[in-house]
Amino acid sequence: MQQTLSALITGASSGIGAALAHALAAPGAVLHLGGRDAGRLDAVAAACRARGAEVWPQSLDVRDGAAMAEWIGGVGRLDLVIANAGISGGTGDGVAEPPAQVRAILAANLDGMLHTVLPAWAAMRGQAPAADGVRGRIAVIASLAGFVASAQAPTYCASKAAADTWTVASAPSARREGVMLTSVCPGFVRTPMTAGNHFRMPGLIDADVAARRILRGIAAGRVRVAFPWWLALAAQVAGALPPALLHAAGRRRPGKAGLPDGG
């Protein structure tokens, strides 16, 4: 990834988003960082400025489509946009997800993703291409969870499956317009989101390691970046199992905690 660039990241106040901001921060870089927690976002911005980057934090919610369109449309040229914001929740003790949780997860992980990608794609379409012919790059942070219809986190899995499928399927059209779309499907990453998982997380890695892998994949122009490879393969195999076998295996695993107050 080039050092002098203009990048926009949602969900940049913690976890993978903060790690991506830190990895991109360098003299000449202009970072537009979005998040809901203004205090944590300012702390990330300060750390990135200390590395020499010009940083413009913006406290907003990706579920607000009008606010997102206004923000993205007003920052000027964007070389890289990363739709990272999202939330996670599961069935907890095995009961059905509350309707409010279902809607909250879909609103953040799917609508929020589209509220980021669609205005970014429109803006990049009108930008002059760089020396490599690319007008801009957009990455969507999905998950290996999207490969498996897990009864422990049905809406989270569905939201990430939709995000991954839409991004991969839209990539050819975007690339004909000079915009590179990449779906990023990480495994378990050590973040506040996974801190509440009370089950074994194979292949767990730190957020800064994940950020480096993500940026390498985006720079290489890959349509999908999935890691670790062995867990991605296992998830694909599990996703191909008959539902009865998949759900029988899942019953032996503790559930993922639900959202506070059901959403």
156 is catalytic: yes
HEC-encoded secondary structure of the chain: CCCCCEEEECCCCCHHHHHHHHHHCCCCCEEEEEECCHHHHHHHHHHHHHCCCEEEEEECCCCCHHHHHHHHHCCCCCCEEEECCCCCCCCCCCCCCCHHHHHHHHHHHHHHHHHHHHHHHHHHHCCCCCCCCCCEEEEEECCHHHHCCCCCCHHHHHHHHHHHHHHHHHHHHHHHCCEEEEEEEECCEECCCCCCCCCCCCCCEEHHHHHHHHHHHHHCCCCEEEECHHHHHHHHHHHCCCHHHHHHHHCCCCCCCCCHHHC
Q: Among the options 71, 156, 188, 227, which is catalytic? A: 156
Catalytic residues: 156
